């Protein structure tokens, strides 16, 4: 190894002896080998020190640094590592994540191509630990290679607030005395906002330079800070760091446009995460949440609110007006075009969300639904709201009786019974169950339906997966409208076993809270048929057959 490393990568760790070797192995496998690795231990109390010392003994590029006491966050271990780092470029890695093999090579090349840039950044690959699904974090921001001459040129980059996706010039950090803020959570957001604002130029590469493992259902004791939204202290921490960013922007004299971009990021990303959870929170939590967020929401720019979709602005305003039960209702199905249960019109005919005309100027502006055109959208795009109001087991091994209520605030459905269907597709063949929705009062219909899951035709090799039944309405002329079916949030799940599968009917438990059906192969299907089918599906012959079928269909 050369006397001076090109890049120092700091791995921060606390009580993570099991995953630390994987993180370090990803650094030892880097295609650019002239690196320094600093394991910065925030005073772990498990076997981490022994594991870290063994790793350091196995490779001269590794240094083990142990803090004298636990700091309770990510900042102090990163800062102590910066103090001893020997390289001119710095990166940071969490012990439960990895760097792809070419991460250092790609980001260092960007610095060498443009020595004047202050940092280089790339794409972050998110991996769900529970499902194995992968995605790219904020893909639209890293889709193309470019050099950005200051954050004012692209203020939308505030959304990519991770410090770990970047390689920093040490001289840049030292010139501005830029270090991670200690004693707070969500330190990445403040550090990244400061880095964006202070940098004269930075380069973005589209390649993946970080692997971020997401474990949404980790035990509370092991959950990351971002997975602790159920704690009101988490809400307070997130707002506190936003206030610190605001102070930084004010002191630095940055433009109103940059402040608006930062406010929009908070509303669209930070608040939006809590909004999706509102239906699952009790009254005390909702009251505490409103008490924490409302003073801050009142200080945000009007232009930031104006950029949001109508459904998100409705939830925000209901929270600000302390209409918290209504906020729960509005928050279900965000992003899915679900209608309100009811609307009300003022004497001038202006339509508002809910059953009462707002009494404040902000409420009149944000809860107005006239722009949604509930009465005039083409029927396939019309907004309805379908809710299960009663659910019980039916006859047979896996059937369920449902009483479904459909809300039609735009009065798109004619008076009288409506033709409706439940649709679910485990595999390629669709199970459709028709039933009737009868009018209860103007804009509200109800119907009963028996969903027999044993009637679903499963693939010959079995089916493993989750499906959510949809509700389909049919209008005169054959037009159809398909929407989500919302379930009670807390009904008891039940499981049946038939046709070589275990089938579970349960509430979704997150997001919109749909009715959820889970299929799991068992017995011979799980042990033999599915593994063989997967191997066959991956062969070149199978690919050629699928291609031939597609061509024939075309």
Question: pLDDT tens digits, residue range 171-226?
Answer: 999 999 999 999 999 999 999 999 999 999 999 999 999 999 998 755 444 445 55
* Same domain (yes/no): 183, 252: no
In a domain, 221, yes or no: no
Burial class of residue 303 (count of CB atoms within 10 Å of its CB; 0-12, 13-18, 19+): middle
**Residue 232: what are its φ and ψ, rounded to 5°?**
-65, -30
Q: What is the CATH number of the domain that holds 128?
A: 3.90.550.10
Q: How many domains does the chain have?
A: 3
In a domain, 150, yes or no: yes
* Same domain (yes/no): 420, 368: no
* Same domain (yes/no): 53, 168: yes
Low-confidence ranges of the chain (pLDDT < 50): 1, 219-223, 529, 533, 542, 545-546, 549-550, 552-554
* Same domain (yes/no): 38, 146: yes
* Same domain (yes/no): 393, 312: no
Q: What is the dihedral of CA 415, 419, 424, 427, to 10 degrees?
A: -140
Task: Output the pLDDT for position 416.
Answer: 93
Q: What is the CATH number of the domain that holds 393?
A: 2.60.40
Can you give the three-state secondary structure of 425-481, one letter per residue? CCCCCCEEEEEEEEEEECCEEEEEEEEEHHHCCCCCCCCCEEECCEEEEECCCCCEE
In a domain, 545, yes or no: no
In a domain, 21, yes or no: yes
* Same domain (yes/no): 409, 362: no
Task: Output the pLDDT for position 546.
Answer: 46
In a domain, 276, yes or no: yes
Task: Output the pLDDT for position 215.
Answer: 86
Share of the chain above pLDDT 70, in %: 92
Pick the closest to residue 463 from 429, 510, 487 (CA basis).
429
* Same domain (yes/no): 89, 157: yes
In a domain, 532, yes or no: no
* Same domain (yes/no): 66, 92: yes
Task: Output the pLDDT for position 365.
Answer: 95
Residues 6+ apart with CB under 8 A from 239: 292, 293, 296
* Same domain (yes/no): 277, 296: yes
Domain containing 268 equals 229-372
The residues that bridge with 438 in the sheet, in sequence order, are 446
Task: Output the pLDDT for position 35.
Answer: 98
Q: What CA–CA distance (Å, rounded) separates 222 from 93?
A: 18
Task: Output the pLDDT for position 221.
Answer: 44
Domain final position from 152, 179, 214: 214
* Same domain (yes/no): 411, 311: no
In a domain, 80, yes or no: yes
* Same domain (yes/no): 349, 237: yes
Task: Output the pLDDT for position 511.
Answer: 80
In a domain, 59, yes or no: yes
Q: At what angle do helices 310-320 and 283-297 cross, to 10 degrees?
A: 100
Residues 6+ apart with CB under 8 A from 200: 116, 118, 149, 150
* Same domain (yes/no): 444, 402: yes
């Amino acid at each position: 190894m050369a006397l001076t490393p090109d890049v120092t990568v700091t791995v921060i760790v606390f009580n993570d002896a099991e995953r630390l070797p994987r993180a370090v192995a990803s650094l030892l496998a880097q295609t650019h080998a002239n690196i320094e690795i600093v394991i910065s231990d925030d005073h772990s109390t498990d076997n981490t020190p022994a594991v870290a010392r063994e790793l350091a003994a196995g490779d001269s590029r590794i240094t083990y640094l142990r803090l004298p006491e636990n700091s309770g966050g990510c900042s102090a271990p990163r800062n102590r590592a910066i103090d001893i780092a020997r390289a001119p470029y710095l990166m940071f890695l969490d012990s439960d994540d990895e760097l792809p093999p070419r991460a250092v090579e790609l980001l260092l090349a960007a610095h060498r191509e443009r020595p004047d840039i202050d940092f280089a950044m790339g794409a972050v690959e998110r991996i769900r630990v529970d499902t194995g699904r992968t995605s790219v974090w904020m893909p639209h921001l890293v889709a193309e290679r470019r050099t950005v001459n200051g954050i004012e040129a692209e203020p939308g980059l505030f959304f990519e607030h991770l410090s770990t996706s970047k390689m920093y010039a040490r001289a840049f950090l030292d010139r501005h005395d830029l270090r991670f803020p200690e004693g707070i959570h969500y330190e990445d957001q403040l550090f990244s906002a400061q880095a964006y604002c202070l940098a004269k130029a930075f380069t973005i590469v589209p390649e993946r330079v970080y692997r971020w493992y997401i474990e949404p259902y980790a035990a509370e004791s092991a959950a990351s800070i971002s997975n602790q939204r159920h704690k009101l202290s988490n809400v307070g921490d997130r707002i506190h760091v936003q206030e610190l960013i605001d102070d930084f922007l004010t002191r630095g004299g940055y433009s109103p446009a940059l402040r608006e971009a930062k406010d929009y990021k908070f509303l669209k990303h930070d608040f939006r995460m809590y909004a999706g959870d509102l239906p699952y929170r009790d009254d005390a939590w909702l009251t505490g949440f409103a008490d924490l967020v409302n003073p801050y929401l009142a200080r945000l720019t009007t232009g930031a609110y104006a950029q949001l979709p109508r459904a998100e602005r409705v939830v925000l305003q209901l929270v600000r007006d302390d209409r918290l039960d209504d906020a729960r209702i509005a928050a279900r199905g965000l992003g899915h075009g679900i209608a309100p249960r009811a609307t009300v019109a003022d004497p001038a005919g202006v339509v508002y969300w809910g059953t009462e005309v707002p009494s404040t100027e902000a409420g009149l502006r944000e809860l107005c639904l006239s722009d949604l055109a509930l009465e005039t959208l083409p029927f396939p795009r019309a907004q309805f709201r379908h809710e299960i109001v009663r659910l019980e087991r039916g006859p047979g091994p896996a059937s369920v009786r449902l009483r479904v209520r459909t809300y039609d605030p735009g009065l798109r459905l004619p008076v009288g019974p409506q033709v409706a269907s439940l649709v679910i597709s485990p595999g390629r063949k669709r199970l459709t169950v028709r039933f009737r929705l009868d009018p209860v009062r103007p804009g509200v219909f109800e119907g009963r339906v028996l969903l027999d899951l044993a009637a679903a035709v499963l693939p010959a090799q079995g089916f493993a997966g989750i499906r959510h039944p949809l509700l389909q309405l049919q209008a005169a002329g054959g037009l159809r409208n398909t929407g989500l079916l919302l379930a009670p949030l807390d009904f008891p799940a039940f499981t049946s076993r038939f046709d070589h599968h275990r089938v579970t009917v349960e509430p979704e438990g997150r997001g919109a809270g749909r009715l959820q059906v889970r299929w799991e192969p068992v017995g011979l299907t799980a042990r033999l048929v599915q593994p063989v089918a997967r191997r066959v599906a991956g062969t070149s012959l199978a690919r050629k057959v699928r291609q031939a079928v597609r061509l024939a269909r075309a």
